[in-house]
Chains A and B, each alone.
Chain A
Amino acid sequence: MSLAELIRARRSIRKYNSTPVDQELVVKLLRKASRLQPFAETGSWRVVYAGTPEARKRLVDCMLEQMSQSRFVKLIPGKLLDIFKKRFTDIPAHVIVMSTVGPDRLTNDRNYAAACGMMQSFQLIGWEHGLGMLWDTESMMLHEGFFKGIGLHEDERFVGILHIGYYDKAPKSRKRTPAEQKWTVLRGQST
C-alpha cells in the first residue's frame, strides 16, 4: 500500500471489537510517530496511556464527573447512562496527548501543531497495524475534572484523546472536496 492509499483508506473508527490492544505495541507505534516529527519539535508534547481496565474506568469516571451534574444528563435515565458508560469503558485503549504551553501564541501554536502532526502519524501507523482510532473532540468532556483526572499540568494544553481498538468493519468514506476548488495561484513580479 502506498502512502497515498494508506491516507485515503484510513477511517475514524467508533466501534471496536473485543480484541485486546497490546500496550507495548501502542508505545512502540507512538515512538515511531514521534520520531517522524522534526527533531526540534521533541518536547512539544506529552502522552498518557490508559489501557488497563482500572485506568479506563478512572478515565470514564473523570470524563463523566461533570457531565452527570449537567441538567441535560440528569434527564437521561440512569440505566441509559450506565449503558453509555459501559460502552465507553469497553473501548480497549486510549491515548491522551497534551502540548507544552509557551510564553507566546506562536510557541503555543507550534507545539500544538507538532502534537497534532504526531497524532496523525500515529493514526496512520496504527491503521497499518489494523488498529482503528477516533480522535475525540467532544466538548462536553473538556472540564476541570477531566483535566485533573488525566494529570494535565499547568503549563500544558489538552490536544486530544484517541480511542483505540481493533474493528470488524470500517465505515464507508465520505467524499472530499477536490483541492482544485480550494486553490489559488500567486506569481511574483519579474521587475
Chain B
Amino acid sequence: MKLSDLEGDMHTPSEFLDRPVSQELILELLNHAVWAPNDELREPWRFIFADNRYGDIMQGLQEQAPAYLLVLMKEEADQHKREEDFAAVCCLIQNFRFLAHEQGLGVRCTLHDWMYDPSRTEMFGVLSNERIAAVLELGYGASQPKENTELPEDELHVELL
C-alpha cells in the first residue's frame, strides 16, 4: 500500500464486531510505529494493552471495544519538552493508525477529560510521572471500509508567508 494512494480519511468504525484483537498483532504494529520522529530519541511513550474480553474494563470511561491501547507519555518537568513529547506520541499514534488500516483493524483515537484525573488513571497503572496521551479503541468493523464514494469538499487553505 502506498500512502499517497490512500484517499479520504481512514476507516474508523462506529461499532466493532465481537472479534478479539490479538496482542501479538498490536505489538508487531507498535514495533513499526515507534519509528516516529522524537526529540533526542527520548522515546517518551509507554503502552498498556487492555483486553476487554469480559466487557467491563473501561466501563463508563470509553465506548465498548474488544481492546484498548492506552498510550502513555512521560511528563517531563520542562514544558517545552512536554510539548515535544506529546507531538512525538501523536506521530507514533498516526503511524499506528496507518499500520492498523493496512491490516483492516479499526482504530478510534480518543481524548477525554478523565485522562487528566490521576485518581482514575492510576487504576490502570499509570505512574505519577506519566499521563495518558490518548486511548485507542481497537476492533474490527462490521463492513470493509467503503471506497471513497463522496469525499467532503477540501477545506484546507494554505496561506503564503
Question: Which residues of A pack against B, CB within 8 Å?
Answer: 1-4, 6-8, 10, 12, 26-27, 30-32, 34-39, 42-43, 46-52, 55, 58-59, 94, 96, 105-106, 109-110, 112-113, 116-117, 119-121, 123-125, 128-129, 135, 137, 139, 142, 150-151, 159-160, 173-174, 176-180, 182-190
Which chain A residues border B41 with CB–CB below 8 Å?
A: 174
Sorting the interface of chain B by its residue count into under 10, 10 to 19, 20 to 34 or 35 or more gives 35 or more
In the complex, the chain B residue whose C-beta lies closest to that of A177 is B43
Q: At the interface, yes or no: B55 with Cβ under 8 Å from chain A?
A: yes
Q: At the interface, yes or no: B48 with Cβ under 8 Å from chain A?
A: yes
Question: Which residues of B pack against A, CB within 8 Å?
Answer: 1-4, 6-10, 12, 23, 27, 30-37, 39, 41, 43, 45-57, 80, 83-84, 86-87, 90-91, 93-95, 97-99, 101-102, 109, 111-113, 116, 124-125, 133-134, 151-152, 154-161
Further 13 A-B residue pairs, CB within 8 A, beyond A50-B161, A159-B87: A3-B1, A39-B152, A94-B161, A120-B95, A123-B37, A125-B3, A128-B3, A128-B4, A177-B34, A182-B43, A183-B46, A185-B48, A185-B51
Which chain B residues border A43 with CB–CB below 8 Å?
A: 155
In the complex, the chain A residue whose C-beta lies closest to that of B54 is A188
Complex Cα distance, B129 from A108, in Å, reads 21
In the complex, the chain A residue whose C-beta lies closest to that of B29 is A4
Q: Is the CB–CB distance between A8 and B3 below 8 Å?
A: no
Interface of B is mostly: mixed
A48, A58, A185: residue with the most chain B Cβ atoms closer than 10 Å: A185
In the complex, the chain A residue whose C-beta lies closest to that of B72 is A182
Q: Is the CB–CB distance between A135 and B37 below 8 Å?
A: yes
Q: Is the CB–CB distance between B31 and A116 below 8 Å?
A: no
Complex Cα distance, B7 from A49, in Å, reads 23
Q: Is the CB–CB distance between B159 and A46 below 8 Å?
A: yes
How near does chain A come to B81, taking the closest CB pair, in angstroms? 9
A109-B111, A160-B87, A178-B31 given; A188·B159 CB < 8 A: no
5 contacts between A and B (CB under 8 A): A35-B7, A35-B154, A48-B158, A121-B94, A151-B159
Which chain B residues border A178 with CB–CB below 8 Å?
A: 31
A-B pairs, 6 with minimum CB distance: A116-B90, A179-B30, A188-B57, A50-B161, A120-B91, A188-B54
Residue in contact with A36 in the complex, picked from B9, B32, B87, B99, CB distance below 8 Å:
B9
Q: Is the CB–CB distance between B4 and A32 below 8 Å?
A: yes
Complex Cα distance, B37 from A10, in Å, reads 9
How near does chain A come to B147, taking the closest CB pair, in angstroms? 14
Q: Is the CB–CB distance between B34 and A105 below 8 Å?
A: no
How near does chain B come to A145, taking the closest CB pair, in angstroms? 14
Which chain A residues border B6 with CB–CB below 8 Å?
A: 36
